[in-house]
Amino acid sequence: MLKPDIPFKHQHAAHCESGVMAQLLSHYGLPLSEAMAFGLSGALMFAYIPFVKLGGMPLIAYRRLPKAIIKGLQKNLGIKMELTTFSRPDLGTAALDRLLGKGQIVGLQSSVFWLPYFPEDMRFHFNAHNLIVYAKAGDEYLISDPVFENPVRCLSKDLEKARFVKGMLAPKGLLYYPVALPEEIDFNLIIPKIIKKTARAMLKTPVPIAGVRAIYALAKTIGRLETKDRRYARLFLGHVVRMQEEIGTGGAGFRFIYASFLQEAGDLLDDQSLKDSSLMMTSVGDQWREFALMIAKSIRRKKRQEIDFCGLQKKLESIAVAETQVYRKFTSS
């Protein structure tokens, strides 16, 4: 068991899983920014899977599957994590309390909908939200939820409900924490390797449901919405933006975090080419934001504009071109 000798400190982050991992590792002795945690996990992705539906809408993701950041970091950095799930809620609660009693901080998977501290308008049924519990006071858990500016509190019965909902991506009470950290990490060696691998995964996918090809596929689908029912088209477009902005990062679907990672990596390795690619990635992120803004204007409840499906398709295709250029830079070097 790792024994931190520093008091726990809450950190505000853009995304839950990378935020939790950065905090857990930093607390236990491996200082890591959120951007580094995200980049080093190799979890950057794009996926558009029309046949997997969430609330009637296709799966669109700007990162790999939940838990990919935890597992990617474990593999790429040589960290050993303890991940435990439970067959019964009471067992999960008992295990959490035991760990807290020993002074551990613990990462948890939970459902956003059942966490009362979330604003009403953000409570959707998303079961793979990550947070840290750092203490218990009476019947309340003290929670460091990285997407919140300040620590929050949650009643024991509410957290238990949120940890044990059933359904897609059911958390099954998952709790996790690092148990062993590597003595030394050779960033000079691993950073270029991870970046190259991430880029290759974006460029060379066998089927057009992942990587850059999936961005083209989504663009084509959006172009074809022209022929569909307008209400459905608006909901579809809103869904694209929501996946891009909300259940990801408060930016451009993880592209800004990745640019921040490239910048930090460039400084660490003193590598100008990485710093240049960070600028390219920032421009990609800006374009995703422009795309979101185009959509927002066409779905606006008041003063609604005509939807320019063709324009949206072209915009998305130009994003795919821009992303391809960044990834090519990595695979060719």
Partner 1 sequence: MPQDEVSTLTDTRKAIYAVGCDGRYEIVPSSGWEAEAEATLQAVDELARRAVEAYDRVAAGAAAPLYFHMFDRRMDIDLLSQASGIGRWRLKRHLKAEVFAKLPPKTVARYAEALGLKVDELKRLPAVRPDRA
Q: For partner 1, which residue of 13, 73, 132, 154 counts as binding (CB under 8 A)?
A: 13
Number of residues near partner 1 (by CB under 8 A) = 53
Give me the DSSP letters along 303-332. Answer: SPPPP-HHHHHHHHHHHHHHHHHHHHHHHH
Does residue 300 belong to the site contacting partner 1 (CB under 8 A)? Answer: yes
Type of residue numbered 285:
G
Does residue 35 belong to the site contacting partner 1 (CB under 8 A)? Answer: yes
- Residue 210 or 233 having the CB closest to partner 1: 233
Q: How far is CA 304 from CA 300, 312, 329, in A?
A: 5, 16, 40
Structure tokens at 88: 């019964």
Residue 209 and residue 64 in contact, taking contact as beta carbons nearer than 8 Å? no
Type of residue numbered 314:
K
Q: For partner 1, which residue of 3, 7, 31, 121 counts as binding (CB under 8 A)?
A: 121
- Spatial separation of the C-alpha atoms in residues 148 and 63, rounded to whole Å: 21
Task: For the segment 159-188, give every residue that binds partner 1 (CB under 8 A).
Answer: 161, 165-168, 170
- Residue 104 or 127 having the CB closest to partner 1: 127
Residue 110: how many CB atoms within 10 A of its CB? 29
Q: For partner 1, which residue of 123, 196, 200, 314 counts as binding (CB under 8 A)?
A: 123
Does residue 138 belong to the site contacting partner 1 (CB under 8 A)? Answer: no
Determine which helix (DSSP H) or strand (DSSP E) holds 200, and give its type and residue range: helix 187-203
Structure tokens at 261: 């990672």
Does residue 93 belong to the site contacting partner 1 (CB under 8 A)? Answer: no
Task: For the segment 229-268, give every residue that binds partner 1 (CB under 8 A).
Answer: 234-235, 238-239, 241-242, 245-246, 249-251, 256-257, 259-260, 263-264
Determine which helix (DSSP H) or strand (DSSP E) holds 116, and give its type and residue range: none
Does residue 71 belong to the site contacting partner 1 (CB under 8 A)? Answer: no
Summarize as ranges the residues that interact with partner 1 (CB under 8 A). 12-14, 34-35, 53, 55-56, 113-114, 119-125, 146-149, 161, 165-168, 170, 234-235, 238-239, 241-242, 245-246, 249-251, 256-257, 259-260, 263-264, 282, 289, 292-293, 295-296, 299-301
